[in-house]
Amino acid sequence: MSVTQILILAVVAILVNQLKNGRSLALLAVSSLVIFWIQPYQEPVTLTFWFPTFTLGLTVAFWLLVSTPEARSWKENRGAVVVILGTIILVDLNRYFQIQYFFTADTPRVQLVAAILLVFTLAGFMLARIKRIPAAIFVLTMIGLIVMLLFLKTPSALTKLIEEVAALRGKEAVEVSALSWLGFSYVAFRLMHTILDRKAGRLPAVTLAEYVNYVIFFPAFSAGPIDRLERFIRNLHQPSVLEHAGWVDAGMRLFLGLFKKFIIADALAWIALNEKFALDVRSTGWMWILLYAYSLRIYFDFSGYTDIAIGLGKLLGVQLPENFDAPYLKPNLTQFWNSWHMTLTQWFRSYFFNPLTRFMRSSKVALPMWLMIFVAQLATMILIGLWHGVTMGFFLWGLWHGVGLFLQNRWSEWMRTHTPAWGATAWGTSVLRYSGVFLTFHFVTLGWLFFFMPDPTVAWDVMLKLLRVV
């Protein structure tokens, strides 16, 4: 998002927050329009329209799946249905309005979109009548969503799909290196959260407007944080009343985010290490400095976006969860991951790490504790890596952190019983803490090589060069 877009959204957020009635529907309309507005141009061109439409369609389908029969009453949800269908039709009509700044004008024919919407709306009405959904459907839906996510994150699979679709249409395939379905990674995780909580019987009853607002809440749509449905809905119904201090707080947070993202991160991006520089830079010392620039850049970029999201949320009266807590100042890797992209790691902890650990503990074969920790941490971190993209680089990045967490866990265990006497003194505690911060920062910084280098072998070579092994 550009600064202008963010400032426009801030004004919109303030206006929506002033509404006494119809706030939920107004927010739904705004969020629905925003996801079309911020969707990047995507080849083949009609996907620029279809991606946000799919997001809305998928979200509605999941609501039908996870909502209780009572919450699906037409009377309560007709407003949301009209808003969602109206938004899609309105954006589609841009082929006539040609308002290029806000939406793509390369939209499909209105008859086609209207026909598709009609079919899906009727199907939705039929689904809404089903009283009890078999548990297997939840499992299948989860699998489907994971497959979809994996598919979208696998560059080779995407290329193949585009070629196949083009061949079916008798056209030449457009060269596409990646599909940018904006926000889908986050949308998928919110949807999975609701499915898993619904299956566990923890999900509150929500209307269509509440559910869609949660999934596509515009401040957090493209870069998180990943909130929890019940907390979000509570806050949506009882928005924080912004007094003077609240406005100042929201404004400060928004401007802090803008400063971090558009001044610090964008300036660091000019000199941040990349594959090209890595091949050309002649001195190891300078390579470290460029790598530090990358490490700081990714932090300021991501945490800046989070500040912007939280600031916009506050302007709407919604307190989004924090996502960062000075991660580079943490003395060990566990604490780093408790303060970096916190909502994602909490998600994985709740829905993968903890269930996996419980499963291993209850397994008939007694596994040693260290092995359970190793397997759970490795698997969790590799999955977090692959969430960014199904590539060898992200896999190795996850592996790097998984192994790092395990080693740090073992080291901490060992230190618990072997801490020398000096380690308990104030001086010793400081030394251990600062050396921990130093080591953790450098471990994380070296790990970024796998994250951003397109070729893992180059990343490995650069790492060896940085460590003066070669």
Partner 1 sequence: MNSDVRSVAVVIKALCLFVLINVVSVATTPPIAEFSVYNSLIPGLERLPFGNASDPYTVTLDNVDAMFAAHEISAKKESDEIRIVLVGDSSIYGESLSGQDTLSGQWNELSPQCNGKNIKIYNLGYPHPSVIKDLIFIEEVADLQPDVIVWFVTLNTVMNQYRINPFLTGNRERALQMMETYDIPFGSRKALSEQVAVFYQDTIYGQRSFLARWLKLQAFGLLWYVAGDDFHFEQGNLEIVSPDVKKDPNYRDLPPDSDLKASLLLGALTAGQDVAGEIPVLLVNEPIFVATGMHSDVRYNDLYPRWAYDQYRGLLAEQAQQNSINYLDMWNAIPPEFFTDTPLHLSADGERLLAEQLNPKLFSLVCP
Angle at 45 between CA 43 and CA 46, to 5 degrees: 130
Instruction: Kindly state the smallest distance separating residue 241's Cβ from partner 1, in Å.
Output: 16
Q: Which is nearer to partner 1, 277 or 443 (CB)?
A: 277
Q: Which is nearer to partner 1, 177 or 283 (CB)?
A: 283
Q: Which is nearer to partner 1, 28 or 272 (CB)?
A: 272
Instruction: Kindly state the smallest distance separating residue 248's Cβ from partner 1, in Å.
Output: 6
Residues near partner 1, by CB under 8 A: 244-245, 248, 267, 270-271, 276-277, 280-283, 286-287, 289-290
Element (H, E) at 366: none
Integer Cα distance of 303 and 204 in angstroms: 30
- What does 259-323 look like in DSSP terms, one character per residue? IIIIIIIHHHHHH---HHHHHH---HHHHHHHHHHHHHHHHHHHHHHHHHHHHHHHHTT--PPP-
How would you write 209-227 as a 3-class SS string?
Answer: HHHHHHHHCHHHCCCCCCC
Instruction: Kindly state the smallest distance separating residue 466's Cβ from partner 1, in Å.
Output: 14
Integer Cα distance of 102 and 97 in angstroms: 11
Q: Which is nearer to partner 1, 247 or 438 (CB)?
A: 247
Q: Which is nearer to partner 1, 143 or 178 (CB)?
A: 178
Instruction: Kindly state the smallest distance separating residue 256's Cβ from partner 1, in Å.
Output: 15
Instruction: Kindly state the smallest distance separating residue 304's Cβ from partner 1, in Å.
Output: 18
Contacts of 240 (CB under 8 A, 6+ apart): 246, 314, 317, 318, 319
Q: What is the DSSP letter of 326?
A: -
Q: Which is nearer to partner 1, 135 or 245 (CB)?
A: 245
Q: Which is nearer to partner 1, 223 or 278 (CB)?
A: 278
Angle at 219 between CA 215 and CA 222, to 5 degrees: 70
Contacts of 364 (CB under 8 A, 6+ apart): none
Instruction: Kindly state the smallest distance separating residue 426's Cβ from partner 1, in Å.
Output: 38
Integer Cα distance of 308 and 219 in angstroms: 8
Q: Which is nearer to partner 1, 276 or 418 (CB)?
A: 276
Neighbours of 442 (CB within 10 A): 16
Instruction: Kindly state the smallest distance separating residue 165's Cβ from partner 1, in Å.
Output: 26
Instruction: Kindly state the smallest distance separating residue 314's Cβ from partner 1, in Å.
Output: 16
Angle at 125 between CA 123 and CA 129, to 5 degrees: 115
